[in-house]
Amino acid sequence: MNAITEPALPLPHHRPRDWGFALLVLLATAAALLRHGAQMDGYDRAVLLGTAPALVWLGWHWRPLQGFMLGVAVLAGLAVTLYQQDGTGQIERAQTVLLLKYALSSQSAILWMCLLFVMSTVFYWIGLLGSAPKRHDGSTGTGTPPAMMQIGAELAWLASVLALTGTLVRWYESHLLGPGLGYIPVSNLYEVFILFCWTTTLFSLYYESRYQSRSLGAFTLLIVSAAVGFLLWYSLARDAHVIQPLIPALQSWWMKIHVPANFIGYGTFAIAAMVAFAWLLKHHAHEGRWWKLAPLWLLGMALCLEPVAFRRSVASEGAAFWMLYWGVAALAVAAIVALRRPLAQRLPSFEVLDDVMYKAIAVGFAFFTIATVLGALWAAEAWGGYWSWDPKETWALIVWLNYAAWLHLRLLKGLRGAVAAWWALIGLAITTFAFLGVNLYLSGLHSYGTL
Q: Answer for the pair 124, 214: CB distance below 8 angstroms, yes or no.
A: yes
Q: Answer for the pair 200, 270: CB distance below 8 angstroms, yes or no.
A: yes
Alpha-carbon distance 164 to 168, whole Å? 6
Geometric angle at alpha carbon 297, from 291 and 299, rounded to 5°: 115
Lowest-confidence segment of 52-66, 109-123, 251-265, 351-365 by average pLDDT: 251-265
Q: Is the pLDDT of residue 315 over 80?
A: no
Average pLDDT over residues 255-259: 89
Q: Is the pLDDT of residue 5 over 60?
A: no
Enumerate the domain spans of the chain. Answer: 67-246, 260-451
Alpha-carbon distance 138 to 128, whole Å? 15
pLDDT digits (tens, 9 = 90+) for 71-115: 999 999 999 999 988 766 788 888 888 999 999 999 999 999 999
Of the pLDDT bands very low, low, confident and very high (cuts 50, 70, 90), residue 1 is very low
Alpha-carbon distance 136 to 91, whole Å? 58
Alpha-carbon distance 320 to 326, whole Å? 10
Per-residue CA distances from 77 to 72, 172, 230, 403 (Å):
8, 10, 29, 40
Q: Answer for the pair 256, 186: CB distance below 8 angstroms, yes or no.
A: yes
Of the pLDDT bands very low, low, confident and very high (cuts 50, 70, 90), residue 3 is very low
Q: In terms of Cα–Cα distance, which of 305, 348, 354, 302 is closest to 326?
A: 305
Alpha-carbon distance 29 to 37, whole Å? 10
* Confidence at residue 449, expressed as pLDDT on a 0 to 100 scale: 53
* Confidence at residue 435, expressed as pLDDT on a 0 to 100 scale: 86
Lowest-confidence segment of 8-17, 282-291, 327-336, 344-353 by average pLDDT: 8-17
Q: Look over the chain and give the mean of its residue pLDDT values, rounded to a whole number.
A: 85
Percent of residues, the chain, with pLDDT higher than 90: 50
Q: How would you write the chain as a 3-class SS string?
A: CCCCCCCCCCCCCCCHHHHHHHHHHHHHHHHHHHHHHHHCCHHHHHHHHHHHHHHHHHHHHCCHHHHHHHHHHHHHHHHHHHHCCCCCCCHHHHHCCHHHHHHHCHHHHHHHHHHHHHHHHHHHHHHHHHCCCCCCCCCCCCCCCCHHHHHHHHHHHHHHHHHHHHHHHHHHHHHCCCCCCCCCCCCCHHHHHHHHHHHHHHHHHHHHHHHCCCHHHHHHHHHHHHHHHHHHHHHHHHCCCCCCCCCHHHCCCCHHHHHHHHHHHHHHHHHHHHHHHHHHHHHCCCCCCHHHCHHHHHHHHHHHHCCCCCCHHHHCCCHHHHHHHHHHHHHHHHHHHHCHHHHHCCCCCHHHHHHHHHHHHHHHHHHHHHHHHHHHHHHHHHHCCCCCCCHHHHHHHHHHHHHHHHHHHHHHHCCCHHHHHHHHHHHHHHHHHHHHHHHHHCCCCCHHHCC
Q: Answer for the pair 360, 207: CB distance below 8 angstroms, yes or no.
A: yes
Geometric angle at alpha carbon 324, from 308 and 113, rounded to 5°: 85
Average pLDDT over residues 144-165: 91
Q: Is the pLDDT of residue 242 over 80?
A: yes
Of the pLDDT bands very low, low, confident and very high (cuts 50, 70, 90), residue 154 is very high
Alpha-carbon distance 45 to 93, whole Å? 30
